[in-house]
Structure 1
Amino acid sequence: MPAGELIFANVLDLRQRAAEGDLADGLVYTIAPGARAFPFSVVRDWKAPTGYIAESVELLAPSGNVVHRIGPDARFLLGSMDVTRFDQLVEDATFEEIGGYIASFLLDGEVLGQTEFQVVLQAPAEKLPKEIEDGFRKSDVAWIGVEYEGKDVAIPAWFVYKNGRLYVLHSNEPSLEEQSIPGMPDASELIVITRRKYRDTSLDRMRASARILEGAEWDQAAALLADRRRDRHGPPADAIKRWKTSCSIAELTPLL
């Protein structure tokens, strides 16, 4: 006999839920495959006998792989005559695949219901909030790195800002000539910390999806970066030639 009955469930973007309610189409947004998804809710209503039970949720990709789990957690249910709602905010999920997903809902390890939702790409904004964009435009350096065991591991790194994105150079081997960004080139997400317009104002800390550039995109970003340093480090062509064999370039898209 099933441990309970799933009455209702949905997986949906937090902004979509605020605008359209719990019954909106299940959508989760991400800027790029492998990037952290924008915050979303996992809502489910259960009917089950009164008491504690192990409850969990599994999110299955189009390939069939379980890519995110909630629980199992000991949950108290109100009883078969009442509806018990669990409402989970998810802020740390990443999705490598775009398309149709399935959320499975379990009690005591048994799947008792499923619902479908879509993971879709959201085009990144070409402009950021004014105070953040001003900070990037007026600054030469930001602290860039990764979060590790709850702490930021970052270095002051120079960058170029254009159309809502940051371009940053990373030396693939330790070097006295070029910066090495913690987490690069493998991390799909980095931390960016910058001050606002004036030195004594507060810090802005944000997550950014990281994409390593190749081919023509690498060449275009390298030209921007070399131009930024032209007055201090010799002819741009010399820098680009040196970077070609020793450096990666990442495009960072702030997740705001």
Structure 2
Amino acid sequence: MPAGELIFANVLDARQREAEGEMANGLVYVLAVPSRALPFAVLRDWKAPNGYLVEEVQLLAPSGRVAYTMGPSARYMLGTMDLTHIEDVIDDAMFEELGVHVASFLLGGEVLGQTEFQVVLQAAPEKLSKDTEDGLKRSDVIWVGVEFQGKDVTIPAWFAYRQGKIYVLSSKEPSLQEQTIPGIADASDLVVITRRKLRETALGRFRAVVRLLEGAEWDQAAALLADRRRSRVGPPQDSIKRWKGTCAIAELTPLVAG
């Protein structure tokens, strides 16, 4: 006998839910593939016997791979005469595929219902919020949070900012001469923290998609960084020549709502 009955479920972008309500066709947005999704809600209504039951939610990609799992965790059910409403807002789910995904809802280890939702690409905003933009324009340094050797580390980094994109330089090998951001070459996304100039308080914190640049894109970003670097010794071309082949340049696209 099933542990309960799934009456309603939906998976949808947090902004979509606020604008259109819980019944809207489920959409989850990413700015790149693979990347972390913008915050989305997982909603469900259960009819189940009173007491604690073990619930699990699996988000399945078009390939059948499990893209994200919630639980298993104990949930308190109100009883068969009432609906037990459960909702979670997810901000750490990584998606590697676009298209129709399936959310499977389990009670007691048994799949009792499913619903479909679409993972779609949202164009990165060309203009950020005023607070975020001001923090980037007025700061010389951002703090970059990455995973390195199984630990989360936060590194101060000088940067260049243009048209909604952040550019950071990182030596490919540990260096005393050039900036090094461990783990950035292997990161698909990371945390960016802006701080108030001459203060220790954080001004803004957001996630950003990482893309390593090559060829002409690397050259263009290197020129931008060389012009931006305040402590540069010599003409910009000297710095660019030194970085060539020894330094990676990462383009960071903020994961913020457009």
Superposition TM-score, scaled by structure 1 size: 0.91
> After superposition, what is the alpha-carbon deviation per residue over 1:195-249, rounded to whole angstroms, capped at 9, x for unaligned?
23x5348422222221112233222212211232388233333333332311111
Q: What does 1:57-136 align with in structure 2 at a 5 Å threshold?
A: 57-136=57-136
Partner of 1:203: 202
> After superposition, what is the alpha-carbon deviation per residue over 1:145-194, rounded to whole angstroms, capped at 9, x for unaligned?
3268xx96222211110011110001110011211113211112222222
Letter in structure 2 aligned against 1:79: G
Q: Quick one: structure 1 residues 168 and 18, their matched pair in 2 at CA, closer, same or farther if it must change by over 3 Å?
A: same
- Confirm or deny: 8 A CA contact 1:145 1:181 kept in the other structure: no
Secondary structure in 1 matching 2:217: helix
Q: What does 1:1-256 align with in structure 2 at a 5 Å threshold?
A: 1-146=1-146, 153-196=153-196, 198-200=197-199, 202-204=201-203, 205-229=205-229, 232-256=232-256
Q: Distance in 2 between matches of 1:76 and 1:141?
A: 47
Q: Supply the RMSD in Å over aligned alpha carbons.
A: 2.2
Q: How many residues align?
A: 254
Ranges in structure 1 where 5+ consecutive residues have no aligned partner:
none
> Which stretch shows the higher mean deviation, 71-80 or 157-166?
71-80
Percent identity at matched positions? 66
Secondary structure in 2 matching 1:185: helix
Q: Distance in 1 between matches of 2:211 and 2:172?
A: 15
Superposition TM-score, scaled by structure 2 size: 0.90
Ranges in structure 2 where 5+ consecutive residues have no aligned partner:
none
Secondary structure in 2 matching 1:245: coil
Secondary structure in 2 matching 1:131: helix
Q: Distance in 1 between matches of 2:146 and 2:57?
A: 28
Q: Quick one: structure 1 residues 43 and 230, their matched pair in 2 at CA, closer, same or farther if it must change by over 3 Å?
A: closer
